[in-house]
Amino acid sequence: MTSPDLTQANIDKIAELFPSVVTESSDVDGNPARAVDFDLLRQELSDFIVEGPQERYRLDWPGKRAAAFTANAPIAKTFRPVREESVDFDTTKNLFIEGDNLDALKLLQESYLGKVKLIYIDPPYNTGNDFVYNDDFAESSAGYLERSSQASAAGERFLANTESSGRFHSDWLSMMYARLKLARALLTEDGVIFISIDDHEVDNLRKVCGEVFGERNFIAQLVWRARKFTDMRATTNVSTDHEYVLAYARTSEGCLRGVERDESKFGNPDDDPRGPWMSRSILGLATREQRPNLHYDLIDPATDTVYPPNPSTGWRYSSDRMAEMVSEGRILFPSREGGRPREKKFRAEMQTDLIAFRSVIEEVYTADGTQEGRELLGSGVFAFPKPTRLIKELVRQGTESDSIVLDFFAGSGTTGDAVSRLNAEDGGTRRYILVQLDEVADANTDAATAGYRTIAEVSRERIRRAGADTRSQAGVLGDALDVGFRSLRIDTTNMTDVLRAPDDTDQLTLSDFGSSVKPDRTGEDLLFQVLLDWGLELTMPIQKETIDGFEVYDVEEGALILCTRPREARDLSLSLSLSLGLPRPSRSVSRFVSCSSTKTSRTTRRASTSGRCSVNARHTLRSRPYDRRSLVGGA
């Protein structure tokens, strides 16, 4: 009876917020104990790279601290909607995002914090030829492109990671580490992440995931038999037929659903009044030294045949319980020589219709994914996509019927395809968010020959065609399926740099200054930046009206109203939305008008109506690029 160990309680709280800073140490008696790595904690709370010499048990590599810093560094970017590349833009709940997934994960942090039930990613395997993302936010985009000699119109951002670089593992780990740290924050408390990987980095990836998600949240290292036929080209005389899928939970409570029982295994050949049953082994799991009470001779009362226990396993039940089961006719004694007793397990006594999901995934192969891609896109357009059945089963295991699924290495878009097809099967309304880098398709590939400029274009076309196919196969129920997607593109902020601070201006001189909104940006561009700033989901329904030249965007019937005006217009009163009979909004924003002081905290804005615009809101100019901490998406 002692008072609580407050130190350990505090460590538990820190571990929940920052699993990567909790490490293994030793107490005064030399026993293992959890402790906080204060160098790592300082890094989580610092806006610069923290150096630290402390020895610790963990995976380390050159660039790890920089990767942690990169994950936390802010960016001045936004999502721009692309209606012409979307399907059912106004009604769909799905998202397709084109651009660097590190940027995407940062931009999604407020709108989808703690809302994603399942993440599946198939990152580039580190084979020595695959690209890795070169993350550097210490310089401008123009400077980065100039330094890396990558100034293509597509904004290509990848470098070869050859084994000769000396950073073969380090670059790949840094790329993954930053993204996994951001991805964890998006998961629900009972969320799960699945990561496809092969032998090159599976050991390192497990260590990284153990650090990011916490080792206690490890679920399984699933083995997927990916190859159907033996690889005759193997130089080591070993045909590597498998890959892995690592599974980690957001918290220790996270788990998989399980699979339905095979009801065909149950029968009632002896007309037992207790109903259908199946034969089950009664072997135990312990040696005589471990569980001596489970090692005894089992005797068939009808024949007096003695069945000794297996020395390495013993029996499943104690001798007293086994005697009860024999008397109740629950033990099946063999009729042939050499057989072993088994249990009669009745279906009616089983508490659930589900059994455990097996760690070995079979009967679905890479060749299946290749065939699917060929049927949807044509031969060779995308090399070795994951099969839909594999992703569909993982999604089935880790989601509810209305969950959000995220894939930030979308590739050919298999995850989006799988979510739509699973919804068609079980009537679910799951939503997906796909992110794909606008990687330029090599000129020598079938994708380029088929007219696809980037891999993102391939992804969009895949889910576009797969959605149409899913809806067609669903027949009369197809119209109710959401097989569309809102296409968004990552771009720089909508706001321009201005040289004059708000306090240096007044109402009379305001008209002398230029707009702080970039000239190529639309009202809908501004709307999506405001949605991000307010932490609103990006698939909310949007209604647009043009009234007396003003564009009025109503998000989810008054959750937010954005009013923009032509550049030549001189004045705008925010009482306009009310006078025109629009619903009184929870939030209202007008272009070039600030709703309230930029010092208002985000917590205050969400907890009260202080963020509502008033008729007398004064005009301001920003003295810096658009900041995610500021109040509105105006200037």
DSSP 572-591: --TTHHHHTTPPPPSSEEET
Strand partners, 87: 485
What pLDDT does 443 receive? Answer: 78
Question: What confidence score (pLDDT) does residue 568 get?
Answer: 53
Whether 126 shows a pLDDT value over 70: the answer reads yes
Interatomic CA distance for residues 635 and 633, integer angstroms: 7
DSSP string, 242-262: EEEEEEEESSTT-----EE--
Residue partners of 327: CB distance under 8 A and separation at least 6: none
3-state helix, strand, coil in the chain (%, to 5): 30, 20, 50
Query: Residue 360 contacts by C-beta under 8 Å, 6 or more apart in sequence?
Result: 222, 223, 225
- Which of 432, 358, 395, 388 shows the shortest CA–CA distance to 194? 395
Band of the pLDDT at 620, cuts 50, 70, 90? very low
**pLDDT of 187 strictly over 80:** yes
| pLDDT for 57 beyond 50 | yes
Which helix (H) or strand (E) segment holds residue 393: the answer is helix 388-398
pTM of the model: 0.76
Report the mean per-residue pLDDT for the chain.
80
Q: Note whether 469 and 475 are within 8 A (CB).
A: no
DSSP state of 304: -
E strand spans, 124-186: 131-132, 159-160
DSSP H helices, 399-538, are: 414-426, 446-449, 455-473, 523-534
Contact of 181 with 71, CB cutoff 8 Å: yes
Q: How far apart are CA 291 and CA 279, in angstroms?
A: 24
Using CA atoms, how far residue 291 sits from 306, 310, 324, in Å, is: 20, 12, 20
Residue 585 neighbours by CB under 8 Å, 6+ apart? 554, 558, 559, 560, 561, 577, 612
Q: Could you please report the per-residue DSSP string of 512-580?
A: GSPPSB-TT--HHHHHHHHHHHHT--TTS-EEEEEETTEEEEEETTTTEEEEE--TT-----TTHHHHT
Q: pLDDT by residue (tens digit) across 297-326?
A: 999 999 999 999 999 999 999 999 999 999
Answer yes or no: are the C-beta atoms of 558 and 532 closer than 8 Å.
no
Residue 517 pLDDT > 70, yes or no? yes
d(CA 385, CA 314): 46
The band of 528, judged by pLDDT with boundaries at 50, 70 and 90, is very high
Is pLDDT at 8 greater than 60 in this prediction? yes
**H or E element in which residue 277 lies:** strand 277-281
- Identify the bridge partners of residue 98 per DSSP, sorted by sequence position: 436, 489
**For residues 28-45, average pLDDT:** 76
Look at phi and psi of residue 59 and say left if phi exceeds 0, alpha if psi is from -120 to 50, else beta: beta
Strands (DSSP E) contained in 353-412 are 354-355, 360-361, 404-407
Torsions phi, psi of 67, nearest 5? -65, -40
Q: In what order do the strands lie in the sheet with 218-225?
A: 77-81, 486-492, 95-98, 431-436, 404-407, 116-121, 187-197, 242-249, 218-225, 360-361
Structure-block tokens of residue 194? 């699945």
Please, what sign has the CA dihedral across residues 192, 193, 199, 202?
negative
CB-CB contact of 518 with 494 (8 Å): yes
What residues does 334 pair with on adjacent strands?
A: none
**Over pLDDT 70: what percentage of the chain?**
75
Closest CA to 366 of 388, 387, 352, 342: 387
Tokens describing residue 163:
């084994």
| Across 266-280, 318-332, 355-369, least confident range | 355-369
Higher pLDDT, 8 or 309: 309
pLDDT band at residue 609 using 50, 70 and 90 as cut-offs: very low
**Is 112 or 602 the better-scoring residue by pLDDT?**
112
Q: Is 416 helix (H, G, I), strand (E, B) or coil?
A: helix
Region label for 535, one of left (φ > 0), alpha (ψ between -120 and 50) or beta (otherwise): left
pLDDT of residue 135: 58
CB neighbour list of residue 423: distance below 8 Å, 6 or more residues apart: 429, 430, 481, 482
Whether 180 shows a pLDDT value over 90: the answer reads: yes
- By the 8 A CB rule, do 306 and 299 touch? yes
Q: Is the pLDDT of residue 153 over 90?
A: no
Strand partners, 281: 342
What letter represents residue 315's amino acid?
W
Mean pLDDT of the 395-406 span: 96
Domains of the chain are 6-58 (no CATH), 72-259+357-490 (3.40.50.150), 263-350 (no CATH), 496-607 (no CATH)
Question: Given this model, what pLDDT does residue 607 score?
Answer: 28
